[in-house]
Amino acid sequence: MRRSWSVPSAALAAVALLAGCGGGGPGSGGGKISDDGITLGVLTDLSGVYADLAGPNTVKAVEMAVDDFKKKYGDKAVTKNISVISADHQNKPEIANTKAREMYDRKKTDAIFDVPTSSAALAVATIAGQSKRLYFNIGAATTELNGKSCNKYTYGWAYDAYMLANGTGTEVTQHGDENWYLIYPDYAFGQDMQAKFSTAIEGAGGKVVGKDATPFPNDNFSTFLLKASAHKPKPDVVGVMQAGGDLVNVVKQYQQFKLKDKDIALAVGLMFDTDIKSIGQKNLAGTRYTTAWFWNMDDKAKQWAARFKERTGVTPTFDHAANYSAATQYLEAVQKAGTDKAEDVTKTLDGMKFDDVFARNGEVRKEDHRLVHDAYLAEVRDPSESTEEGDFTKLVKTIPADKAFAAPSPDCTMG
């Protein structure tokens, strides 16, 4: 709970503030930390189709951020009492809604992180706005979070459907695969991906000749793949918008039905290293996709990835790195503001520019709370080109931050 001070003198007030806050950091300005500490909540898929790319290791990424913050500031940290809690939303918006309310209201969580699955993320953003507590979206791709469903307490940190489509949809079409058949999961993420990819494909001179919405989650895509292969006119490429375990299933079935032998190429809307490992690097060699980050893209990323792997036993995905980044920058904003009061922290975050282990040329836009940063058009290496374990990704080109994301949406109002 908040402390109230009965202050006989300015000197005693300073002592009391130091005791209550663990010491004021640079620029702390005499602010306070509520509830005797800071609580960070990781709301994620701990057991389902996104558990490998996010899941329990996302919790460890946020814990790493807390440990590094404490090490950096020591006794000068705005508070030493920082805890991390987690919950499984099971990719269901109704469960995400309940868990978010519980985190904010009962567990006094200052900020929630991750939330893969766009329908769940939209639910959490609503609760964040009502609770006036912060939410950092990492795992969901829907552009609505920085559009018509935006609010002053929600930040989009890692990627979105526009970024993915602007990279992969445009690039593949311009390289000659002009006729697309899209297969997408029938919920907010897939619907947004289908819309953004269609726009990018058509903008690059291509055409969407067919599309199908699929159940989510799903393990059998045979009907949709056979329909695509028999379609007239024949598509040049099947664009699959699934992610996580669903992506693994649809790509394996693409190979089973030998669509590549029918001169129907494969394009992947969203892919993580965990997907490449599950599907097989050899099976995906040459596949192009857009990503927000990959673990060995430069020395800064490699060094952090080595620390993460030592802690978890696995190579990090961009979800893990982005959660670390968001938690780090949140804590830095609290340190600078000298308080965890959400309204004051947002003033520090809005317009912030930084480079960290995840974001290159990062800037938090004030207009819509979108973190813009460099993105990367990548290609899965042939195994013969890999120099070490997990070296799956070859950089094709960097998409500069000011080109990677859409301009702020007029539908976003921060009132």
Give pLDDT, residue 414.
83
Whole-angstrom Cα distance, residue 214 to residue 239?
13
Whole-angstrom Cα distance, residue 343 to residue 337?
10
Confidence of residue 415 (pLDDT cuts 50, 70, 90): low
Q: What's the CATH code, domain 162-292+376-404?
A: 3.40.50.2300
Q: What is the pLDDT of residues 110-167, one digit of tens each?
A: 999 999 999 999 999 999 999 999 999 999 999 999 999 999 999 999 999 999 999 9
**Does position 100 have pLDDT exceeding 70, yes or no?**
yes
**Does position 59 have pLDDT exceeding 80, yes or no?**
yes
Whole-angstrom Cα distance, residue 361 to residue 318?
16
* Mean pLDDT to the nearest integer, 331-359: 97
Total length of the chain? 415
Give pLDDT, residue 36.
87
Whole-angstrom Cα distance, residue 8 to residue 171?
68
Give pLDDT, residue 167.
95
Do 10-159+297-373 and 162-292+376-404 fold alike per CATH? yes
**Does position 320 have pLDDT exceeding 70, yes or no?**
yes
Q: Which of 123, 76, 73, 80 is nearest to 103 (CA)?
A: 123
CATH fold, domain 10-159+297-373, is Rossmann fold (3.40.50)
Which strand (E) or helix (H) includes residue 183?
strand 179-185
**For the chain, what are the domain ranges?**
10-159+297-373, 162-292+376-404
